[in-house]
Amino acid sequence: MGSLSVTTGAMLQCSFGLAPTTLNVLPISRVTVEGKPAAAIADMAPLVNIPPFGMCSSAANPTVAAATAAALGVLTPMPCVPVIAGTWTPNAPTTTIGGNPALVSGSTCVCSYGGVITISMPGAVRTTAG
C-alpha cells in the first residue's frame, strides 16, 4: 500500500516554526484528489505554496540572529519567511501530477535556515499514490 496523497489544505510543520500552516496547491495541473487540488514535489514555493510558520526560532535565520544579538544572546524568535532549499522528498515515483512526481505523506523539505518541514496531515484521507 502506498502513502496517502497530499492535497491543498495539508497541514505542515517546520522544526523551527512556532505554528503549523497549510499547504496551498494552485489548481494549475487540474488534478484533484478527493475533490481538492493534488500536490506535486514542485509545490514548495515560499509564500505561494508554503506560508510562514508564525515565528522562526532558528539562529541561522539572519533576522533571528540579529534580534538575539540585540537581546544580549537571549534567543529572540522573529517572523518566519520560509526559504525552501529544494523539492519535497521522497515522492511517489510512479504517479505524476503536471509532469512532476506526486507529493505523498511522509515527504519532507528543508528550509535554508535549517528547519525541516514535515506533513502532519496530508489532506487526503483514503487516496494513496504509489
How confident is the model over 61-81, as pLDDT tens digits? 999 999 999 999 999 999 999
In angstroms, the CA 21 to CA 35 distance is: 20
In angstroms, the CA 110 to CA 116 distance is: 5
Q: Looking at the predicted structure, is the pLDDT value of residue 37 above 50?
A: yes
Q: Looking at the predicted structure, is the pLDDT value of residue 31 above 80?
A: yes
Q: Looking at per-residue confidence, does 127 or 18 come out higher?
A: 18
**Assign residue 69 a region: left if phi > 0, alpha if psi is -120 to 50, beta otherwise?**
alpha
Q: What is the pLDDT of residue 9?
A: 95
Give the list of residues 6+ apart from residue 67 with CB closer than 8 angstroms, or none. Answer: 76, 77, 78
